[in-house]
């Protein structure tokens, strides 16, 4: 699988996505990441990719032509491909998307900046995707989130399949089980006894129960439960 990211800051993604399991997967060739400088898809001598908004208003808007040229240049001629614009106005990215996109031959991610992208881009992409209801300065951080979540779903990228299958949101709308490691006791807080029992069935049952309890406590919305309005998470 390969991901192509189109951005005005191609160097920004490299350090984060060169480490850990993703870095290893890239080195092994299980997963390819290609970054492209949007400015190389303009004929403008000053490599300008933004302009003022029609109708007025503050800030600059990214021009459509360099983006469409970039899509046409980087998209593979064949195969299962998806072209996605990162945008706070898009559908929210979920774990299911990571799983599905990991089976594609190519995912193309377009990063916006400034006030966003000329709306006519919608005719040249498959969809707009947001990573959450807040506004970032640019699409690069969102692209890094999507690349990391998607790449770890590519078979073989995460060594032990169980560590993916036990994750929060994996094939069910619930959190993963809490985990513990040494020391057995830390400042009066002990590891639950059952984890030291060696009884794998009991351990699995306990982990399942803790996962549901934590989901009810932290993310009742995932289970369709009402969120307590008096609870202050801020
Ligand atoms: C400052 S934002 C533009 C926000 C836009 N004016 C709006 O109100 O929707 C610039 C770029 O950052 C990226 N971006 C910002 N927030 C994002 C989010 N939550 N998810 C994905 N991309 C985001 C997009 O690529 C966007 O074009």
**Domain containing residue 22:** 2-151
Cβ-proximal residues to 142 (8 Å cutoff; 6+ apart), any chain: 86, 93, 111, 129, 130, 131, 136
Residues 128 and 92 in one domain: yes
User: Ligand 1: distance of its center to the CA of 186 in Å?
Assistant: 42
pTM score, whole prediction: 0.94
Q: What is the pLDDT of residues 145-178, one digit of tens each?
A: 999 999 999 999 998 766 787 888 887 789 999 9
The answer to whether the beta carbons of residues 22 and 157 sit under 8 Å apart is yes
Residues 23 and 129 in one domain: yes
In degrees and rounded to multiples of 5, residue 119 shows phi and psi of: -60, -25
Is the model more confident about 234 or about 18? 18
Ligand 1: atom nearest CA of 134 is 19
Q: State the CATH number of the domain containing residue 78.
A: 3.40.1280.10
Q: State the CATH number of the domain containing residue 211.
A: 1.10.1270.20
How do strand 50-52 and strand 60-62 relate by DSSP bridges? Answer: antiparallel
Residues 130 and 193 in one domain: no
User: Ligand 1: distance of its center to the CA of 128 in Å?
Assistant: 10
Residues 120 and 21 in one domain: yes
Residues 76 and 190 in one domain: no
User: Ligand 1: distance of its center to the CA of 9 in Å?
Assistant: 15
Q: How high does pLDDT run on average in the chain?
A: 95
**What local confidence, expressed as pLDDT, does residue 172 receive?**
77
User: Ligand 1: distance of its center to the CA of 152 in Å?
Assistant: 24
Token pair belonging to 77: 């001629």
Residues 102 and 14 in one domain: yes
Instruction: Single out the residue of 118, 129, 131 nearest to residue 49, CA to CA.
Output: 118
Residue 139 near ligand 1, beta carbon < 6 Å: yes
Residues 22 and 72 in one domain: yes
Q: Residue range 227-232: average pLDDT? A: 68
The answer to whether the beta carbons of residues 14 and 35 sit under 8 Å apart is yes
């Amino acid at each position: 699988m390969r991901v192509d990211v189109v951005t005005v800051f191609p160097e920004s993604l490299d350090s984060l996505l060169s480490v850990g399991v993703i870095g290893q997967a890239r080195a092994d060739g299980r997963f390819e990441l290609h970054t492209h400088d949007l400015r190389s898809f303009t004929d403008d001598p000053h490599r300008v990719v933004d302009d003022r908004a029609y109708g007025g208003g503050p800030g600059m808007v990214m021009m459509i032509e360099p983006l469409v040229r970039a899509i046409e240049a980087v998209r593979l001629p064949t195969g299962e491909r998806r072209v996605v614009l990162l945008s706070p106005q898009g559908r929210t990215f979920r774990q299911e998307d990571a799983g599905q996109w990991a089976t594609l031959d190519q995912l193309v991610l377009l990063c916006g900046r400034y006030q966003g992208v000329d709306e006519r881009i919608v005719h040249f992409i498959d969809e707009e995707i947001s990573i959450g209801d807040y506004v970032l300065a640019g699409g690069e951080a969102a692209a890094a989130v999507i690349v990391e979540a998607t790449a770890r779903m590519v078979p073989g990228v995460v060594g032990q399949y169980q560590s993916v299958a036990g994750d929060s949101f994996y094939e069910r709308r619930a959190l993963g089980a809490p985990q513990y490691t040494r020391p057995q006791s830390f400042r009066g807080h002990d590891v639950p006894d059952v984890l030291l029992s060696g009884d794998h069935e009991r351990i699995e049952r306990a982990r399942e129960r803790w996962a549901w309890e934590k989901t009810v406590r932290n993310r009742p919305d995932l289970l369709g439960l009402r969120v307590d309005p008096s609870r202050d998470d801020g």
